[in-house]
Amino acid sequence: MKFDLLESDRRIWRDELDEFVPPRIFDAHSHVYDARFVPAATAAAWRNPGHHPKATFNDLQRASAALFPGRKVHYLTCGFPVRGMDFDGMNDFVAREGKKDSQSLLLMMVNPAFSVKDIESRLERGGFAGFKPYMCISKARNPVQSTVLQMLPEHYWRIANERELVILLHLGRYRSLADPVNHRQIRALAEKYSRVKLQLAHCARCFTPEIAEKGLSAVADLPNVHVDTSAVCEPEVFHILFDVWPRERILFGTDNLPAGIERGKIASFGLGWFTVSEGNTKALSAPHVPYRPTFLAYENLRAIRYAAKRKKWGKLEREDFFWNNAARILRFNSIMAS
C-alpha cells in the first residue's frame, strides 16, 4: 500500500502535532484486510485507482511510521466489514497478520448467525481478544438502522462477559448516540454484562457536535464503556467529550487502514455528517489554496489537540490518552506477560 507524504503534511506534523504526540501510541481502532475475502463486485471496486485492495500488518506499521515519525505504535485491529464477506477467510487473515506483533490485540469479525460453539472455536483458533460487529452484516432489513442487538446478538455478549472480551461497536441508526434505542440497549447490555469491555467507536459515532451534546452524557456513567476517538474531525465534539466523559475512558484511534490516510475529513452538515475527500469532490481545489488536503488522521489529531489545549492537558494527560488508558482498559500488558 502506497501513499504520498507531502511537504504540507510534514509541515502540519512539525508545527502542530509533533510536540503533542508522545513517544508511545496505542492505536485502538485499526484494520487489516484482503480483497480475496469480500464479494467479487466489492473486490473489483477496491482494485480501482485510488483504492486499496489489501492492507497487511506491515502496511499498517508503515503508515504509522510515516504519519507519526519516531513513535512506537501498537494496535487493536480487525478485518474490514463487508456484507457477504468470507468471515473465516478474513478472520484467519487477521490472525496470521496479527502474529507479527505480540503487543497488538486482534478482534474477530462477527457473523450474527454463528452459534456459541462456532464463536468459541473461532475465538480460540484466532487468539482474538474480542468482537467487531458492524451494521452491514447485521440481521436488520435496513442495515444502517441496525440496533446493537441486531449487530451483536445476546449470546455474543454472554461469551464476551465470561471471557472479559472487548467489543468494538460502531453504532447504527440515523441518529447514532442521539437515538434513545441505542441509549437503552447500551445501558441494559453494559449493566447486565459488566465484565465486557465495550468500546464505542468514533466517539460513540458522534461525528457532529449536536449528536455529541445529546448523546454522550446518556451513557458516560457506565464504568465498563469507553470510547475511541478515530475519524472524528469536529473540534467541538472533543470539547463536549472532554467535558462530559471520564478522561480515563478515552482511547486514541486512527481508523487506519485505509480511512486515516485518505485526504479529507468528516464534516458536520445540518443533522448529518459527510466524508469530504479528494476522491468524492472537486470542491477541494481552489486558486486561493495552493495545498492538497492532508490526511484524515491528521485532521482528527488537530481537532483533538485544540480541545486538549483548552483543557490544559500536560504530559501526563497526553500519555494517558495515547497509551496508558488503553493499557489499563484493554489489559494488553498483562496479556503480553502471560
Tell whether the model's pLDDT for residue 235 goes beyond 90. yes
Task: For 290-336, give the DSSP string.
Answer: -S---BHHHHHHHHHHHHHHHTT--HHHHHIIIIIHHHHHH-HHHHH
| CA nearest to 72, candidates 28, 30, 26 | 26
Q: Which region, left, alpha or beta, applies to residue 151 given φ > 0 means left and ψ of -120 to 50 means alpha? A: alpha
Output the DSSP codes for 192-203.
HSTTSEEEEHHH
Answer whether 0.75 is exceeded by the pTM: yes
Cis peptide bond prior to 23, omega within 30° of 0: no
* d(C-alpha 92, C-alpha 125), whole Å: 9
163-207 pLDDT, tens digit each: 999 999 999 999 999 999 999 999 999 999 999 999 999 999 999
**pLDDT band at residue 279 using 50, 70 and 90 as cut-offs:** confident
Q: Is residue 2 part of a domain?
A: no
Average of pLDDT values for 240-266? 97
Is 1 part of any domain? no
Give whole-number Cα distances, 95 to 109, 125, 203, in Å.
11, 9, 26
pLDDT tens readout for residues 260-275 = 999 999 999 999 999 9
Residue 335 has pLDDT above 60, yes or no: no
Number of structural domains in the chain: 1
Domain containing residue 25: CATH number: 3.20.20.140
51, 91 Cβ separation under 8 angstroms = no
* Cell reading at 42: 466489492
Residue 43 located in a structural domain: yes
* Domain, as residue range, for 48: 7-337
pLDDT of residue 333: 59
Task: Show the beta-strand stretches assigned E in the chain.
Answer: 24-31, 33-34, 54-55, 72-78, 105-109, 130-132, 166-169, 197-200, 225-228, 250-251, 264-269, 272-277
Question: Is the residue at 122 inside a domain?
Answer: yes
